[in-house]
Structure 1
């Protein structure tokens, strides 16, 4: 059987309360008994000594059993709370005040009596009761004759008569009424506490039911607030935290679904772009195989040249894919150093001059100072600028211009690096998705280009690794412009 939180708390409370109350009652009864015995023993500490001193039969050390029995009977009439015994030096009972047959012991252990007489024990001190198997408080005094101890007067304080009367008092109706009232008070207190537990546990039970319902609904809903969120109650904070958690989980799930969809689309686009050079390469190789015996050397060389072009294109595509995967892995090492950016720009102009000349494009550098220096990773900056130049050459028509610029801004301690052209520019609806690999892959399919479209995505990730942001926009007089900032040396 499943036990609820409320039942566990209730059972634990009741058992704990009963255990504590029972222990408290036992301890209090014991302390009360010890306190009563100590008071009684201290009150009658000299009783036996006075009796020995005031009675000639005892003061003279005489042992007349008949006379002593009469004496003890008279004293019990005056003090029924006491029982009197005369002991010899070995503790044997010689005479006693009880009726015949009531004494069940013939001998009393003298050690506690002797220790009490010597003052070696603190009260209450207990010794054997000849009429029962219990130990009770007592008063004792030696019986001396001719300077020698002949025996002891042993007086039990609170004998059987006292015990029977005290037991009867315990059964008194008023005491029973007080006990009943005490039990009723305890039960009332437990009831109040149980209702309090119910009050505090009930919101948790409702919250549990809502979470179970939420689970069966696929976590598509939110938990109804049990209390006002600003109430300061822990249950309200817990329900609010559950709602935040559900929202975050749903957002993460939607993001994962979106990423998975984009991944599938990107793979489809990449497959299409990779299939084009592969199909071209396969076609030229099959053509060479079929025509080889009957083809001239110039035709074979033409086919081989086209095969190499397709192979290089394919290798470039694969390199871009691996580079993007490496950047997204987060295990990229950056080596920052200070160097003059003008030298790099001129090197890039030389590197792409042939490609630019083939399309009749002017590739130039614009600097406000030849001494502009930046702090960055030179290899990654070269990769960024190479991607931007390649992109500009692809989208700039014949007789167009491409400019590489570096402007030093001393107020912000930044150098603004830019690549601009006067080509086709960027459509306004494409600007938000320009650096999205999935969008570029889709765009590459639409325009029939053989370019895989990952260059700008790689560029953006490299710029982010260098600690900057790249921005793209259209020039007022036509064409596109890409720019980013790099820190100046201090």
Structure 2
């Protein structure tokens, strides 16, 4: 089997040109032969008429054999290529000058003869050659008696057997070879030109094939670096350059996606390890309190028993909250959460939020502030879902802001009938390389490891998905050491 695109194209091209050469030669040979016949018939158009008018082939009502032979000898001496026949009205060949065994057809079709005689304008008409059964150019004329009655036809084959023999000899020696040589040379030139063109066209594909193989061999780990020529060709070059540019972009996208999946998988595994630890720790604590009550309950004072029960209940609440978050994220990811928007005054929602989180902020020494242009600002939202968003975003901001810092909630009406909401903090910030991943489930910024025990990496993912249900996008800006800003927009009506 022939391998390689260029070799297959070359083979196909060679076969095509070989076939084309055969077709061209056949067309040339037939066209040349037809032109010769047309020329010969036009030159001898009235030959039969002249002979009939000059020589009395039928002095009476019977054929004069002597006159016929004399006419045949005269014409064939002057033009050896011609063959003369007298044909009856029924198409039977009555008289000819040739050995009897050379006559193949003793009857000919008179339709071409009648067409030739009736034509007022010249048009190539071919008739049967009695000697070869081939269609050839001829001249014909009716033979009339003294009373004007038609007795027979004078039928002259212009290019007879002698002409065929001479033409075959000449073609074999010179003309045919010259024609074949010219056609072969032209086809060879075209073939070489086409092969060179195919080589130039397929070379970029061969190079691209090597690059694809090398990229696959690397395990899709290394970024592909397109050179300047490729980048320019991608915009201004041909389709092959555009294909190569597309491959580079696709390859780099694959590398990025694989890198992302590996990092995401690592984050997921780390999250599961920490969640397992976070679940095990409160369970172990709750178990310790309950076992103590079971084993030493009678020895403990009433106050100690209540203290142990309160601690076990508090641990249970924390554990329940953690499990609820996991289930909430699962429902959001599977599209099992609906929203019921209604026109809501945001100042009321933020007042409740401030009341619920001000204690947490105060305990951490963080100042919690609300900056709202107009307390009458309304938004079309699901109150419960939006409150969950605020709880997660503001709670996270307080969590990662050190004592003495500030967390600010800003609400501002915009001209496009939307409300811009921003939560800003002066906390530790998020590393730039982590920003694309902060809304992914299980992810926590690498610079926040010291606070890992405080969060589970689900709050931002849940907030982002809840806002998506409101057809809003949660955005983030951050700078290490200066703080973070989350913002989103809500429909004003």
- Report the counterpart of residue 149 of structure 2 in structure 1: 148
CA distance in 1, matches of 2:191, 2:332: 66
- Report the counterpart of residue 117 of structure 1 in structure 2: 117
Is 1:313 equivalent to 2:296 in the alignment?
A: no
- Do the aligned residues in 1 keep the contact of 2:397 with 2:427 (CA within 8 Å)? no
TM-score w.r.t. the length of structure 2 is: 0.77
Shift in Å at residue 316 of structure 1? 0.8
- Report the counterpart of residue 214 of structure 2 in structure 1: 213
**In structure 2, do the counterparts of structure 1 residues 24 and 223 end up closer, same or farther at CA, with 3 Å as the change threshold?**
farther
CA distance in 2, matches of 1:105, 1:171: 28
- Report the counterpart of residue 188 of structure 2 in structure 1: 187
After superposition, where does 1:100-139 map in structure 2 within 5 Å?
101-119=101-119, 123-139=123-139
CA distance in 1, matches of 2:176, 2:364: 117
After superposition, where does 1:79-478 map in structure 2 within 5 Å?
79-99=79-99, 101-119=101-119, 123-145=123-145, 146-173=147-174, 176-177=177-178, 179-221=180-222, 222=224, 229-230=231-232, 232-291=237-296, 303-327=308-332, 333-348=338-353, 370-387=375-392, 426-427=427-428, 438-439=443-444, 452=456, 454-455=458-459, 458-459=462-463, 462=466, 466-467=472-473, 469=475
- Do the aligned residues in 1 keep the contact of 2:473 with 2:488 (CA within 8 Å)? no
* Partner SS for 1:91: coil
* Partner SS for 1:106: coil
- Do the aligned residues in 2 keep the contact of 1:292 with 1:300 (CA within 8 Å)? yes
Shift in Å at residue 379 of structure 1? 2.0
CA distance in 2, matches of 1:313, 1:442: 25
Shift in Å at residue 203 of structure 1? 3.3
- Deviations 1:240-260 (Å, cap 9, x if unpaired)? 433333322222221111111
- Deviations 1:382-424 (Å, cap 9, x if unpaired)? 22344467668889999x9999876656789876768899xxx
CA distance in 2, matches of 1:353, 1:226: 57
**In structure 2, do the counterparts of structure 1 residues 357 and 256 end up closer, same or farther at CA, with 3 Å as the change threshold?**
closer
**In structure 2, do the counterparts of structure 1 residues 486 and 140 end up closer, same or farther at CA, with 3 Å as the change threshold?**
closer
Q: CA RMSD in A?
A: 4.7
Shift in Å at residue 314 of structure 1? 0.8
- Deviations 1:288-338 (Å, cap 9, x if unpaired)? 443468778776655444332222111011112233444555765455443
* Partner SS for 2:376: coil
- Do the aligned residues in 1 keep the contact of 2:25 with 2:183 (CA within 8 Å)? no
**In structure 2, do the counterparts of structure 1 residues 15 and 419 end up closer, same or farther at CA, with 3 Å as the change threshold?**
closer
* Partner SS for 1:56: coil
More moved, 283-292 vs 135-144: 283-292
**In structure 2, do the counterparts of structure 1 residues 66 and 266 end up closer, same or farther at CA, with 3 Å as the change threshold?**
same
- Do the aligned residues in 1 keep the contact of 2:429 with 2:478 (CA within 8 Å)? no
More moved, 216-225 vs 13-22: 216-225
CA distance in 2, matches of 1:362, 1:253: 42
* Partner SS for 2:210: helix
TM-score w.r.t. the length of structure 1 is: 0.78
- Deviations 1:18-73 (Å, cap 9, x if unpaired)? 22232222223223323332333333333222222211243544423344323322
CA distance in 2, matches of 1:289, 1:198: 88
- Report the counterpart of residue 31 of structure 1 in structure 2: 31
Shift in Å at residue 237 of structure 1? 4.0
- Do the aligned residues in 2 keep the contact of 1:340 with 1:374 (CA within 8 Å)? yes
Shift in Å at residue 358 of structure 1? 10
More moved, 217-226 vs 243-252: 217-226
CA distance in 2, matches of 1:230, 1:360: 57
- Report the counterpart of residue 16 of structure 1 in structure 2: 16
**Would you say how many aligned residue pairs link Structure 1 and Structure 2?**
482
* Partner SS for 1:136: strand
- Do the aligned residues in 1 keep the contact of 2:142 with 2:152 (CA within 8 Å)? yes
More moved, 355-364 vs 15-24: 355-364
Q: Which runs of 5+ in 2 are unaligned?
A: none
* Partner SS for 2:197: helix
- Do the aligned residues in 1 keep the contact of 2:475 with 2:488 (CA within 8 Å)? yes
Q: Which structure has the larger Rg over C-alpha atoms?
A: 1
**In structure 2, do the counterparts of structure 1 residues 135 and 278 end up closer, same or farther at CA, with 3 Å as the change threshold?**
same
**In structure 2, do the counterparts of structure 1 residues 279 and 37 end up closer, same or farther at CA, with 3 Å as the change threshold?**
same
* Partner SS for 2:255: helix
- Do the aligned residues in 2 keep the contact of 1:463 with 1:469 (CA within 8 Å)? no
- Deviations 1:197-251 (Å, cap 9, x if unpaired)? 2233233323323332333233455478595643535444444433333322222
